[in-house]
Structure 1
């Protein structure tokens, strides 16, 4: 049975209070004059040395740019069959069972994760297009012995088409319920979205709306959902139980990584606050696995390779006692970017 509570459980209210105080403490700490963008960026990089795929957030040399909003009808050279085959080969990642109840199907650019429960499958994200949904997600599921007819929910982390673009194929073939936050459903309902790209598939129509602290319970598994605004204003991040034999670990999936909305100081700070909140929640819940929906960001490609060489009784390559350090980088480096932009804007004001 699946549930979507209308009221956030008391334990989650308490968690929100706790994490709110952590965010306030962090915000107060960076008011010290000695806390420069460079100091914060260095702090983030040191904290998350095991997650080099996130280091791009810490680069202060390049200006933050807003990703272009391109029309679906904008001109673009069509790839030849040979180019398309070559590109697919270079981006290929083998479908993999990562934990007893978690599977990776995706490519080097973008991931879909499958959480297996006793009453069906929860698919997290749908890649760029119907073609990828059919030939990467569904084909990968068949290779892994999973039946796509058992997909009960498609959870979309945020309103960018590299995560929802294959939903049309999946919904028409297998009829999962499509889950997204209210804020990002509203974004997709606008005539023009903040970011668009002609390679993305059709956006979904509003189906299941979730709010911060809601959860999906399907059979023996509960997926906790948190609205972590920043990358989009309704980005969903989540915490999930992961089984490895007799051991249970907890994974935190960060729903949106880049600062692709330009030099918007308050929004960058929102992103930093979201990262700190999820770090605090992860600490409370014992999270020891960090996941992303882009496999180069969480080192999934390297860790998947390490799985193939894992010996019985050895530590799981995805399990990291310092997994929450990834959120320290996300927090510190995004705040470094915010302060850098503030300093630049203040100089412009002083010189005007």
Structure 2
């Protein structure tokens, strides 16, 4: 009786769950996959960001050339003898090395990105501006010169140097426009790209003085303490390459970290102007300094910016 009672209860339990013992033993166990994570990276968007950058600058391919003229009017010497006028000229150039410089600087960027159809692959473009204000100088630079002077129909050759107290190069503003390709994930995307860059440099030639070695002793042609100063600015085109990654705090705000390397063209520009010197005795001497300076810039930047897509939307809607 107890065995029949137990068997009846087992049959009742099987009928309640609706599965026969043989079918339950043969049925495979299945697992349901978890739903895929929803990405918070927008399908597309405009963005604007600000931040800081760590920068290293190398001024490469630096060369300077100078040509000087002098005109000394006729004058009486210490013995009362009238000396004929002296007309001289000399020229020469040299390459120079400027040490690498580094500094922190502010950076502003803005751009646009969009996914390719419904895939995680994406493309875009961004423009950045950095005010670097980084300079490097070469002090007591010597620019070799060779030439001669004409006095009373006699030409006398000589060698000498332009002495530059400070030759300084500075890179100020730099713009970059970089198209990029990337791949997005749940809360971020990574990217790389390349594009044009434009950098503004400033060259300063401070207290340049001409010396001639006529009789074995360097003689100042332009006057001791009468060094001239010249400066000019120029814009240099180049190319930039970048690799970076973003992290989205939400759909409207993200942090962007990237590395940018840039190299510009080597460009030649002119400098110069008149000079004059009034010695303690004798007439005033006059002349000109003329020259060229050339070089390029290589920059490396590590940037970190905070970016907003919502802010751009508000600006475009004039809110």
Tell me the TM-score normalised to structure 1 length: 0.19
Which structure: larger Rg?
Answer: 2
Looking at secondary structure, tell me which structure has more helix per residue.
1
Looking at secondary structure, tell me which structure has more strand per residue.
2
